Structure formats: structure tokens, C-alpha cells
Amino acid sequence: MSLADILAIAAHRDDVEQTCGGTLLRSASRGLRTAILDLTQGEAGTRGSAEDRAREAADAAKILGVSWRQALDLPDGAIANTLENRLKIVRVLREVRPRVVILPYWQARHPDHAIVASLGYEACFLSGLGKIDTGTAPHRPFKIVYASLYADVRPSFIVDITPFIEQRHASLMAYRSQYANQSSGSALFVPEEEIRERTFAEARHYGLLAGVKYGEPFVQKEVGLIDDLTLVPVQSI
């Protein structure tokens, strides 16, 4: 039995809130079950502790309406694409059994994010192999998409998150240890009063590309399939 229709996999607690939180909110509003797998616990972060991040992630999950959220124990700042780590994700995939998996885009400033793109993809493949024994039945997600908010690439598609932009922002700001103004890391982090402006501006940019107010971008590697040309969204002229 599936625990979720959509599973977002990310390196760190708060990555999902930044890159696809609005999409999870929209999906939940349509009756789809959503889930989040954070691969690290945040022990290497400049601000806060792993315990802080765990509490904040739980609060953010409630705001996002996700039905399932867990964190693995991969080393923060040193995620590696190893068989051991792939199998840890395989166990989750076979437990949650999502139809769709959201991964970070495969090029990123933070090495953890780029590695998770390949690590997650390979885990999705292994999860469908019957001879990989984890004590649970094989399961391979039907669709893998990549959240490309911070990548300088043309999106394959945009999700309209306009009705959910405030909740999306609230889910990110649940991480007070990270985004509230404080002396620790002040030279590295954006001031709290600028976070709203920046995140809304990014969502506005992608929304404009698709003819809506606010949007989140995604890339898919395979081509799309259209059944009815008269129902293709986004006006050409």
C-alpha cells in the first residue's frame, strides 16, 4: 500500500520548502498524499542544531500538509553516492511507494544538492529490482522530476503556486534557527526582512513565464506527451 503519491527528496531540512513547497501544497489541496525525505539532519549547519532543525521540519511539514516526513543520517555537507546510501533511500521508496519523486536539479552550488540528484535517481532504479533484498517488495516510481528553482536552465514546466504563496513562505520561516536575524552567520545569510522579497520575486519570475502570478519550475529529462492540442496551457501570443 502506498503511503504517498509524491515524495520530495532533498539534502537538507528546508530545501524542499524553498524549491517545491508550493507544489506540495497545491498537490495536497487536490487530495494527493505528499511526503518528504530529508537525507541529513543538519548537524553541520552554521546556525542551529540537528535538534532545532528536526522541530522546525515537523512544524513546516504541518504547514505544507505532508502526510509523511523523515530524515536519514547521511553526513551533512558530505553526502556521497554510495551503494549503502542508495539502499537507505531504496528502503524508504519501498515503504512510501510514491508515483512521483521530486529531486534537486543536478547542477548546484552546494555539492550535497548535486549529488542527491544522481543518488536519488539511482536509488529509484535500484528500488525496482527484485533481487535487491530489503525485506519489502520492489517499487519503482513512475515519474522523476527535478526542482530547478536555483538552476539557470529553462524549465520543462511550471506549477502554479499562486494560491499557496503565503503558506509556502510560512513553511520556510518555520526554520527560525536558520532565517531569524542573529549574529551567527550574519555575513552568510540573507537578512530576515529580505527573505520574503527574494523568494516572492523568484516565484514571480517563474510565474510570469507561464502566465500566472507565482510559480515553481521543474525539469524532466524525458519528452512530454499531449493528448489534446486544444488543452495545452500557456498562451503563445
Tell me: the pLDDT tens digits for 47-59?
668 898 999 999 9
**Cα(124)–Cα(141) distance, rounded to whole angstroms?**
7
Mean pLDDT, residues 62-78 taken together: 96
Q: What is the pLDDT of residue 209?
A: 96
- Secondary structure E strands in the chain: 6-10, 34-38, 68-71, 100-104, 143-147, 157-160, 215-219
In a domain, 93, yes or no: yes
- pTM here is 0.94
What is the overall mean pLDDT for the chain?
Answer: 93
Q: What is the pLDDT of residue 177?
A: 86
The pLDDT > 70 percentage for the chain reads 94
In degrees and rounded to multiples of 5, residue 31 shows phi and psi of 90, 5
Mean pLDDT, residues 182-203 taken together: 80
In a domain, 236, yes or no: no
Mean pLDDT, residues 169-198 taken together: 81
Mean pLDDT, residues 224-232 taken together: 94
Provide the residue range defining the domain that includes 30: 6-221
In degrees and rounded to multiples of 5, residue 99 shows phi and psi of -85, -35
In a domain, 226, yes or no: no
Mean pLDDT, residues 85-114 taken together: 96
Cβ atoms of 41 and 71 within 8 Å: the answer is yes
In a domain, 227, yes or no: no
Per-residue confidence band for 62, with pLDDT thresholds at 50, 70 and 90: very high
Q: What is the pLDDT of residue 153?
A: 96
In a domain, 191, yes or no: yes
Q: What is the pLDDT of residue 44?
A: 66
Residue 181: pLDDT over 70:
no
In a domain, 234, yes or no: no
Residue 163: pLDDT over 90:
yes
In a domain, 142, yes or no: yes
Mean pLDDT, residues 75-80 taken together: 94
Residue 186: pLDDT over 60:
no
Residue 178: pLDDT over 80:
no
The pLDDT > 90 percentage for the chain reads 84
In a domain, 77, yes or no: yes
Q: What is the pLDDT of residue 190?
A: 76
One-letter amino acid for residue 171 of the chain: S
Q: Give the chain's domain count.
A: 1
Strand order in the sheet with 34-38: 68-71, 34-38, 6-10, 100-104, 143-147, 215-219, 157-160
CATH number, domain with residue 54: 3.40.50.10320
